[in-house]
Structure 1
């Protein structure tokens, strides 16, 4: 990854879009502090990050729920991660309850992961992130393994979380339609790994399910940019 400059505003959803192998997930891991950048600096409010940070939370395609814990305990598990602030028992429970309520899983808090659908498992994984009260959510294709209807529900949930909690989000996906539906800004990576080949700001109000013509024009532009980059690579 070379000469890549990236910034994120409060409550902004930025999508890193592109085909497999262009460095989307690697970039997200660098932002999360899970992988050191070869050069350059990652900062949050001017503070340089050199490790994982409680102000950031990462969600993966695999929910990663612990099978021997029920949903509530899986959500609570995120509060034990490194560098998390110490909480009183009441504060801890309040965070857990609020996170579970935010993703609509109050009715399932005693269920084990084996009793959850794919969508419910992803909601639980998101709640585990939210219990930490992050300022930035880093999402590595979290909806990629879900069926189309469940995926649409999770996209709507992401927008609800960003709106309710004023959390920013960086989403990695190879799905152009998903990027168009949820993003305030799209950064297209292509050609060599980590190379930005295009960027679009989308000012349309959300949800955008009915903005067919506007999103269709953007989709054509993104595909054209990607094809041109491949032809000249």
Structure 2
């Protein structure tokens, strides 16, 4: 019999609140969130509700005012070497080859010590995982948009992350390339067992890839609803079921948007 996949909670947030730097009002408040190994959690919400701020807080790139974040049961404060982040811009260094971009940062002081053979093994596996062996000696200017995002994903994977945080990484891609990247994401999360948070504005993308879909809404942003998505992959074979769920998610998203636009009772103050 095959072993059950690892589904432990890797990242846990409780009562999390944060605001924009220099502001006294919260952008999101009271967030409770568990990310499990091998799970993709998609976060939807209207513009300005705090989706990207939540990701930056979890990544250690932005401070938070209240609450706790734990990784594998230990407090998480600041950037962690096993938390990898990718954004809509692939941010590849133009003077480095794809291979060297993927390897970039593996010998930084925050990274666990590893020898050159181990770093080479990680880079080779990451490049092979995203299907770019043929392009490893190309420079970013020679890559298509989809190839650049594959390289950015490989750079994350080379760090062997326990947590993968993605902020609309496929938003600038054409529809066909984007669909291919979504299927690649499903594959690499299954292979690397990373606990993955995907920020997206696209309901169809969330339903295509996620094991759970969360809706961030209100002012300040709160988790307004969530849906488990248990349909098997590939989900284009489940269009009827996805259509019904899509209507439900869209209805709740519109409700959350109307609530956010309604006059607020007053700002939630953060410690200054």
Q: Name the CA distance, whole Å, in 2 between partners of 1:27 and 1:194.
A: 10
Kindly state the Cα deviation for residue 207 of structure 1 after the two structures are TM-superposed.
Answer: 1.8
Selected match of 2:115 from 66, 88, 92: 88
Where relative contact order (Cα < 8 A, 6+ residues apart) is larger, the structure is: 1
Structure number with higher helix proportion: 1
Whether 2:56 is the aligned partner of 1:37: answer: no
Contact 1:78 1:129 in 2 (8 A): no
Kindly state the Cα deviation for residue 209 of structure 1 after the two structures are TM-superposed.
Answer: 1.4
Contact 1:27 1:194 in 2 (8 A): no
Q: Secondary structure at the match of 1:170?
A: strand
Selected match of 1:132 from 159, 172, 186: 159
Q: Name the CA distance, whole Å, in 1 between partners of 2:182 and 2:117.
A: 31
How does the TM-score come out when normalised to structure 2?
0.83
Cross-structure match for 1:69: 96
Structure number with higher strand proportion: 2
Kindly state the Cα deviation for residue 221 of structure 1 after the two structures are TM-superposed.
Answer: 0.4
> What does residue range 61-210 of structure 1 map to in structure 2 within 5 Å?
61-210=88-237
Contact 1:17 1:174 in 2 (8 A): yes
Per-residue CA distance 1:60-80 (angstroms, 9 max, x = gap): 100000000000000010313
Cross-structure match for 2:245: 218
Q: Which has the larger radius of gyration?
A: 2
Q: Name the CA distance, whole Å, in 2 between partners of 1:202 and 1:19.
A: 21
For residues 194 and 230 of structure 1, do their structure 2 counterparts lie closer, same or farther at Cα, with a shift above 3 Å needed? closer
**Larger deviation: 176-185 or 85-94?**
85-94
Contact 2:46 2:253 in 1 (8 A): no
Runs of 5+ in structure 2 lacking a partner?
Answer: 1-27, 263-272
Q: Name the CA distance, whole Å, in 2 between partners of 1:145 and 1:121.
A: 11
Per-residue CA distance 1:74-126 (angstroms, 9 max, x = gap): 00103134510121111111111010000000000000000000000000000
Runs of 5+ in structure 1 lacking a partner?
Answer: none
Instruction: State how many pairs are aligned.
Output: 233
Cross-structure match for 1:57: 84
Q: Secondary structure at the match of 1:92?
A: helix
Kindly state the Cα deviation for residue 193 of structure 1 after the two structures are TM-superposed.
Answer: 3.8
Q: Name the CA distance, whole Å, in 1 between partners of 2:182 and 2:107.
A: 27
Q: Secondary structure at the match of 2:81?
A: coil
Contact 1:21 1:193 in 2 (8 A): no
